[in-house]
Amino acid sequence: AAVGNVNFTMPYKCTITHIVVTALEPTLNDTYTATYKDNGGASMGSIDVPTSMAIGNKATLASSGSPLSANNAFNRDQNFLIEATKTTKSSGAYLHSIYALKVT
């Protein structure tokens, strides 16, 4: 989606370990915030991207060494929501990389 919220339906049972946002276009005059929510609408956390973030720079929620530990387990067909704020043309463009571990 160009602007607004993005809702994913999980294709399998999994645990999200971390999320990385990469700046594709810099913000012009406002900060972009992405809040991540589980199937029940509970927040998993958020990432703030300041106006100073240059193209290619990254911001991370958790990491491979320190993974998410709350609200991060999903069953097949449950929804994962990226709730964006400041979704105007001046908010830039971002790539959201969601790292998930498939649970068998």
Return d(Cα 70, Cα 22) in angstroms, integer.
23
Extract the tokens encoding 68.
Answer: 């998410």
pLDDT value at residue 30: 72
Question: Max Cα separation, the chain?
Answer: 45
pLDDT value at residue 2: 45
Per-residue pLDDT tens over the stretch 15-37: 999 999 998 887 777 778 889 99
Q: How many CA atoms lie within 13 A of 41 on its CB side?
A: 0
- Please provide the distance, in angstroms rounded to a whole number, between the alpha carbons at the two ends of the chain: 30
Look up the pTM and report it.
Answer: 0.85
Return d(Cα 28, Cα 6) in angstroms, integer.
22
